[in-house]
Amino acid sequence: MSDAVLVFTVLAATVAAFASDRVRLDVVAMLAMLALVLTGVLDAGQALAGFAEPLTLMIAGLFVVGAGLFETGVADRLGDLLARLAGGGTTRLLVATMLSSALLSAFLSSTGTVAVLLPVVVGLARSADVAPSRLLMPLAFGSLLGGMTTLIGTPPNLVVADQLRAQGDAPFGFFAFTPVGLVMLAVGVAYMALVGRHLLPSHPDVEQVGSGVAATTLEGLARRYGLTDRLHRVEVPAGTELVGATMASGALRARFGVTVLAVATADEDGVPNVRRAEPSTLIRAGDVLYVDATDAQLATLASEARVRIPDAAPEGTLPEPLMLIEALLPPESSYAGATLADARLHDRTRATVVAIKRGTRLLHGDLAETVLRPGDALLLAGGPAAQRRIASARRDLIVVGEPRGWARFARDTRRAPAALAVLAAMLVAMTTGVVPNAIAVLAAAMGMVLVGAVSMDDAYRAISWESVVLIAAILPMATALEVSGGLDLVVGGLIGGLGDAGPLVVMAALFLLTSAFSQVISNTATTVLIAPVAYAAAQGLGVNPAATLMTVAVAASTAFATPVASPVNALVLTPGRYRFTDFVRVGLPIVLLMLVATLLVVPVFFPLR
């Protein structure tokens, strides 16, 4: 078997594994890299070269820079600005949401941008009596469009710039993407404001059905998760078997299916002292237990444990200072793929998972063995300590529903000016070229640590190591295509089949190929694979390679047509209650508009000859 056939076989298997979403992307990339070494296509040095690439280090550094801006509240300020500028009217809200998202994602990751703005946008929608589904998809699309406008806006931009550098050409500058990106942003916003808004679904926001109480009240959150009839108050009389037992030894969940969320013990003056139920919490005579249980479970508890159910038990509420908090699991959450018991979420957040919303399905009761999935919405009960921990765990939990008065516990805004100064210095260095881009980014990452915007431990936690390893391990695939002759075969077929039709037709083919792959697999991996093809095709046609590479960069960011196309789409899927067809209906026309706009605009800023 020739080396080219081996490479194409490994490539096909890699793409299929990416698309199946059954194995982590970084694991697939590592297996592909190892396969290329073990089959003799690459030597060890070639296979490991991706880990020393400036591109890999830049992406790691940018995660730290973004974390510094998030931790100091700079990103929150943009959310506040959005709330002030949005005003009334669905169209105005939509446009303000997309522009704010685009501005932030031009300098931060798209996923981080959506994570910051998602609760703000949900709150705006509910305040304006608009279904969140009318704004959350524009939020995701705005972040993707904003990523097209700068060198660091999205990894595919860095990949195509690195392709030029590797070939000895002048790489794209920091703002080289801006003219084309701004046109794409204008086209995308105009489409959504004029046409797309009519295609957006208006899926009912369940917590607003009925009495119309917003989910920012405890009652609204309880109703959203079907808890209105499940939260009860139980009194423990003297002489019952529970008196003197701990929550663990009482085993109320194992015996009766009842989850105790809080315990209220009266002091000498009769004032109840409310605390969260811990395994070691001792049950005393006269205690009031706040439990999550069905009527049948409650009746069994009353009958067998001889507790008393007050006639006027306040259902659907929790006593202060406990609160209900709704949080979403992002794709990179460390909890994803683990059961609640294994994840130890209770210990790490000091909160109890009361219910899980998976799409339109609600999960209640004993959830210890429930495997958590990205996109799951969790309803948690906890006090101030839980609030602080959940607020600071933005990589693992994104707060999307919260009580009124939620404070930004984890933000240290005193460091915001210093963080902005570090960001400005990085942008100046990258724009002027006084130092290589990788050095500018790494210096900025260390700057964020030195000014106290983020600790070194938090800097390591901020890096998405899955993304870093994915890029480092998939880069050798491009090398394998080149040394095996596979790249020449692809380029020869592309030029031989379409070359006579002209460079615009070849650019259109590259756009469609890149965009199609980006709907089902990582756009970074797609760009790594197609960028060498685009460069070689430009050489074969005798046109400016910057034009074909810019085409690939734009196409890689058109992940609009499926909910699995990008992590940002997955983030808004559950809060917006979207279906797969919603993304196809709204997103596919944008992809086609981007194709037309690219063919018209790219040759203007990057002449073909």
**pLDDT, tens digit (0-9, with 9 covering 90-100), for 48-87:** 988 888 878 877 887 788 778 777 877 667 666 766 666 6
Neighbours of 67 (CB within 10 A): 28
User: Which of the residue ranges 172-181, 272-281, 394-403, 496-505 has the most confident prediction, judged by mean pLDDT?
Assistant: 172-181
Place of tokens 């006579």: 500
Contact 127, 404 (CB under 8 A): no
**CATH H-level superfamily of 323-401:** Regulator of K+ conductance, C-terminal domain (3.30.70.1450)
pLDDT value at position 88?
A: 62
Each as own residue / partner, the long-range contacts of residues 77-84 (CB below 8 Å, 24 or more positions apart, any chain) are 77/416, 78/103, 78/104, 78/116, 78/117, 79/116, 79/117, 79/120, 80/120, 82/117, 82/120, 82/121, 82/124, 83/120, 83/123, 83/124
pLDDT value at position 210?
A: 33
Give the span between the Cα atoms of 544 and 503, in whole angstroms: 10
Question: Tens of pLDDT along 459-472?
Answer: 887 787 877 887 78
DSSP label of 280: T
pTM (2 decimals)? 0.62
Place of tokens 């469609």: 512
Question: Tens of pLDDT along 116-156?
Answer: 677 677 767 776 778 888 999 999 999 999 999 998 888 88
Contact 477, 34 (CB under 8 A): no
Residue 432 tokens read as 């002027």
- Residue 219: pLDDT band (50, 70, 90) is low
Give the span between the Cα atoms of 519 and 210, in whole angstroms: 38
Give the span between the Cα atoms of 575 and 276, in whole angstroms: 28
Beta bridge partners of 22: none
Question: Tens of pLDDT along 374-383?
Answer: 888 888 887 7
Contact 316, 227 (CB under 8 A): yes
* Strand (E) or helix (H) holding 30: helix 25-38
Beta bridge partners of 327: 378, 399
Integer angstrom CA distances of residue 583 from 111, 395, 519, 564:
17, 25, 11, 10
Would you give the distance in Å from CA 363 to the centre of its chain? 23
323-401 shares the fold of 229-305 = yes
Contact 274, 289 (CB under 8 A): no
Question: Tens of pLDDT along 306-325?
Answer: 888 875 444 556 666 667 78
Integer angstrom CA distances of residue 53 from 31, 165, 473, 474:
19, 12, 11, 12
Residue 208 has pLDDT above 50, yes or no: no
Residue 212 has pLDDT above 50, yes or no: no
Nearest to 490 by CA among 477, 502, 473: 477
Contact 431, 174 (CB under 8 A): yes
Residue 441 has pLDDT above 90, yes or no: no
CATH T-level assignment (fold) for domain 229-305: Alpha-Beta Plaits (3.30.70)
pLDDT value at position 220?
A: 67
Lay out the sheet containing 361-363: strands in order across. 361-363, 352-358, 377-382, 323-328, 398-401
Give the span between the Cα atoms of 381 and 56, in whole angstroms: 40
H helix intervals, 128-268: 133-146, 155-166, 178-191, 197-199, 218-224, 247-250, 252-256
Residue 129 tokens read as 């009596």
Residue 162 tokens read as 């690195």
Q: Where are the domains of the chain?
A: 51-73+412-479, 229-305, 323-401
Give the three-state DSSP class for 602.
helix
pLDDT value at position 284?
A: 84
